[in-house]
Structure 1
Amino acid sequence: MRIDLHTHSRCSDGTDSPGVLVDHAAAAGIDVLALTDHDTFAGWDEARAEAERLRIGLVVGAEVSCRLAATSVHMLAYLPDPGEPELQAMLERVREGRNARVPLILERLRAVGVVLDVADVAAQSRDATSLGRPHVADALVAAGHVANRREAFDRWLSEGKPAYITRYAPEPADVVTRIIAAGGAPVLAHPRGRASRKVLSDDVIASLADAGLAGVEVDHHDHDEAVRRALRGLAGDLDLVVTGSSDHHGTGKDGHELGSCTTSEGEFLRLLDRARVNAERSGRVVPQPYLP
């Protein structure tokens, strides 16, 4: 069974609609797909309808933006109640922060001679519930300033680059608490990738496990084999579910083809069990995975 538990549609920074993403997953031989757009649940209904039509398994979730010691961290939330008010409020504040920083990023770009306006960025956002750096990157590509998103981030948009602007994001421990209160299962996304590796030490991950973290994303393109071995050992010590996923963004991210990293069936079942227990304890009415 091929299980890919971390993908994005154009409801955040992917390039496919939720339905087309499910189509592509089915064509790629994926048996179970998770839709985990950044800080939004907007694509769930469309993805579910297409999954049922094609009879491909679907788990709904979101990738929640966090910040620890001024560093960006991400938390995957599987099967939470989207109507839980405090989780809703948290995600809304994150999306507002993302929108608010776009004009500031554009000011920084103008200071280095690169001129765009908010309309250029919005034109690239399609169905996204907020504007983000990937949409700025796409606008830079469309205007001919760079060849692709990667170049845009490497030159201007990544942390430490000339046009980087920080924004609001909650602490990871608070996000774990909110996901659990909404009846979902929190899994730490690519903890040793990019800047996350600077702040997500073994001790920090252990503290998150004590707070209710359900799992850790081990098999990811940002992790080499040595990192994966170390994380798998840590997950075993902490009784955390081990997941793997492509982090697919359509054409928005190179080298992240659907199914290129996957989760084992046994670990997937453990994750569903963690979600079930959290749902029962919270008393929330949560979405159920579609498993034909």
Structure 2
Amino acid sequence: MTKLYIPVLQVKVLALTDHDTMAGIPEAMSAAHKFGMRIIPGVEISALYSPREIAGAGEPVHILAYYGMCGPSRFDELERMLSDIRDGRYLRARNMLAKLNRLKVPIKWEHVTKIAGEGVAPGRLHIARAMVELGHVENVRQAFNKYIGDDGPAYATGSEPFAETVVQLISRTGGISALAHPWALKNPHAVIRALKCAGLNAMEVYRSDGKVDGFSELAEKYGFLKIGGSDFHGRGGKDESDIGTVKLAITTLCCFLKMARPIWCSAMKDILLKFAEEPSAANLGKIVKFGELINFDGFSSMDAGVDIVNLCLCSWLSNDGMEEVELEEC
């Protein structure tokens, strides 16, 4: 992504929300910095809505999490959930291939993992692309409609957590939570009501072909921030929108940042204070995992915890942000 897209994106702020992983964010932030672009660290988390919270039963839901420059305040806790989901994706993909094979649509596991890329847990989109390459379907949309959509004969569930649990974890780790593409849900009203009670902050109402009828009104009804995104998955073409195709009004961005700023500043404060209380190389690594590269020359000892905290704050925050954080003496 960084080699092909960042130099020609023509955008100033980009939220990177890969499915169930934040592994690509450090590279994206490093590359974006060279071109004067801001990356908002994020992740799109696979979840399940079940009114009775029955494991393995219910409707698939995708929850977006947006974090500040230093990432989640409890990254280890978030990563445990994401790791469990990724493990479930491997099993799910194998089950789907087995079902496709019984439907006389043979696909080799190696083909799917090659499309997914090294170290990436394969998902339905990778299976759909394999189906297109092998000539089983004409396009990705047909693969979903005929075989691997939520009601398709080759659909399989993974080990997704309940959507309410995901929203609560995002809040606990200092993120902004948003419901992705609600127009794809079978029962959007029930899902939205449940997630409102769980603390959801926002929902998508804009996409590349404009605002979706009805969902802007739903967002207003439940007091959600209205956002949108391209839902770009890496290839573009007629099956998906390209990066930057969703045009958001500047007022939308201002409302998003107004909501996010105190939450992100609080998360940043938590991360830095934990380091100041327990300076160590491991905790220092957590500070700069998603933060911009900072020159730590002169800090040869981990005893300089407070100085590093203040250096990070100066690097990451504007003057107004510094005043809002109100970091106490450690």
Q: TM-score, normalised by structure 1?
A: 0.81
Q: Counterpart of 1:95?
A: 86
Q: Measure the CA separation in 1 of the matches of 2:257 and 2:220.
A: 18
> RMSD of the TM alignment (CA)?
2.7
Task: Number of aligned residue pairs: give it.
Answer: 266
Q: Counterpart of 2:310?
A: none
Higher relative contact order (CA 8 A, sep 6+): 1
Query: Which of residues 242, 264, 267 is equivalent to 2:249?
Result: 264
The Cα offsets for residues 74-125 of structure 1, whole Å up to 9 and x where unpaired, read as: 1110014175222111111111111011221111111111222211211211
* C-alpha contact (below 8 Å) 2:204/2:227 kept by paired residues: yes
The Cα offsets for residues 116-139 of structure 1, whole Å up to 9 and x where unpaired, read as: 221121121124521111111222
* C-alpha contact (below 8 Å) 1:246/1:259 kept by paired residues: yes
Q: Measure the CA separation in 2 of the matches of 1:116 and 1:234.
A: 41
The Cα offsets for residues 197-252 of structure 1, whole Å up to 9 and x where unpaired, read as: x2220x6424423432221111025x875x44x32233334332111221122325
Q: Counterpart of 1:185?
A: 176
Structure 1: state its 5+ residue gaps. 1-16
* C-alpha contact (below 8 Å) 1:248/1:257 kept by paired residues: yes
CA positional deviation for 1:281:
4.7
Mark the structure with the bigger radius of gyration. Answer: 2
Cα pair distance change 1:235/1:145, threshold 3 Å = closer
1:104 aligns with 2:95: yes
Q: Counterpart of 2:202?
A: 215
Q: Measure the CA separation in 2 of the matches of 1:140 and 1:170.
A: 28
* C-alpha contact (below 8 Å) 2:15/2:39 kept by paired residues: yes
Q: Measure the CA separation in 2 of the matches of 1:96 and 1:123.
A: 17
* C-alpha contact (below 8 Å) 1:35/1:58 kept by paired residues: yes
Query: Which of residues 214, 219, 226 is equivalent to 1:242?
Result: 226
Query: Which of residues 21, 36, 60 is equivalent to 2:41?
Result: 60
Q: Measure the CA separation in 2 of the matches of 1:147 and 1:119.
A: 21
Q: Counterpart of 2:28?
A: 47
Q: Measure the CA separation in 2 of the matches of 1:204 and 1:118.
A: 34
SS at match of 2:116: coil
SS at match of 2:245: coil
* C-alpha contact (below 8 Å) 2:89/2:121 kept by paired residues: yes
Q: TM-score, normalised by structure 2?
A: 0.72
Cα pair distance change 1:268/1:288, threshold 3 Å = farther
* C-alpha contact (below 8 Å) 1:38/1:63 kept by paired residues: yes
Q: Counterpart of 1:9?
A: none
Q: Measure the CA separation in 2 of the matches of 1:145 and 1:46.
A: 35
* C-alpha contact (below 8 Å) 1:61/1:78 kept by paired residues: yes
After the TM superposition, which residues 1-292 of structure 1 pair with which residues of structure 2 at under 5 Å, given as runs? 17-25=1-9, 29-69=10-50, 70-79=58-67, 80-81=71-72, 84-127=75-118, 129-192=120-183, 194=184, 196=185, 198-201=186-189, 204-221=191-208, 225=211, 227-228=212-213, 230-251=214-235, 254-281=239-266, 284-285=270-271
Residue range with higher mean Cα deviation, 209-218 or 46-55? 209-218
* C-alpha contact (below 8 Å) 2:73/2:174 kept by paired residues: no
* Percent identical residues: 32
Structure 2: state its 5+ residue gaps. 51-57, 272-286, 293-315, 319-330
SS at match of 2:41: strand
Q: Counterpart of 2:276?
A: none
* C-alpha contact (below 8 Å) 1:18/1:43 kept by paired residues: no
Q: Measure the CA separation in 2 of the matches of 1:275 and 1:172.
A: 21
AA paired with 1:55?
A: G
Cα pair distance change 1:127/1:109, threshold 3 Å = same
AA paired with 2:232?
A: H
SS at match of 2:152: coil
CA positional deviation for 1:186:
0.5
AA paired with 1:270?
A: C
